[in-house]
Structure 1
Amino acid sequence: MKPFEKCPVCSGELVEKEVEKLLKGGVHTAVLKVHADVCLRCGERLYEAETIKRFEQIRQKLEKQEVAEFQPLGQTFQVL
């Protein structure tokens, strides 16, 4: 059973979708695809507890620059 039957923000309908999540840690950024319950009305995303733990593990690795196991996607540039 899901923890929420309706969106806790707007009471809209929730549907399970595969979404992209952008995580930042230090100077690094990671993109990953995960499953989430997404509100059809407001777009709020609800993640499972295991997924949130995974986010935190990835953020810690990014902050410590432990990125050897991640696949590079390109470069990011800051325009001044």
Structure 2
Amino acid sequence: MRPFEKCPVCGGELVEKEVEKLLRGGAHTALLKVRAEVCLRCGGRVYSQETVRRFEEIRSKLRRQDTAEFKPMGLSFEVV
């Protein structure tokens, strides 16, 4: 079930697409390819709750980049 049938910003039609999302955490940045509902009229994006939770996890890891848990080189994220 989709959370919105129409764009919550302008009421336009939403279509599912793969998009790029830039996340920043502290001095670090990650570029992710994720699925989102994209408005054909205004370009607004609606992400699933699971995707937003992953964004929060990744931002947290970017802020803690110096820990052994996170290795930015060669790491690839894909949220579906």
TM over 0.5: yes
- 1:20 aligned counterpart, secondary structure: strand
1:1-80 equivalences in 2 (<5 Å): 1-65=1-65, 66=67, 67-68=70-71, 71=74
Deviation at 1:3, TM superposition (A): 1.1
Pairs aligned (count): 72
* Letter in structure 1 aligned against 2:41: R
- 2:36 aligned counterpart, secondary structure: strand
Identity of aligned residues (%): 67
Deviation at 1:9, TM superposition (A): 0.4
Q: Distance in 2 between matches of 1:70 and 1:29?
A: 12
Runs of at least 4 residues off by over 2 Å? 69-72
Asked which structure has the greater CA Rg, the reply is 1
* Distance 1:58-1:11 versus aligned 2 partners, 3 A rule: same
Q: Distance in 1 between matches of 2:17 and 2:74?
A: 23
Identify unmatched segments of 5+ residues in structure 1.
73-80
Q: Distance in 2 between matches of 1:20 and 1:5?
A: 22
Identify unmatched segments of 5+ residues in structure 2.
76-80
Q: Distance in 2 between matches of 1:31 and 1:7?
A: 24
Task: Using structure 1 for the length normalisation, give the TM-score.
Answer: 0.84
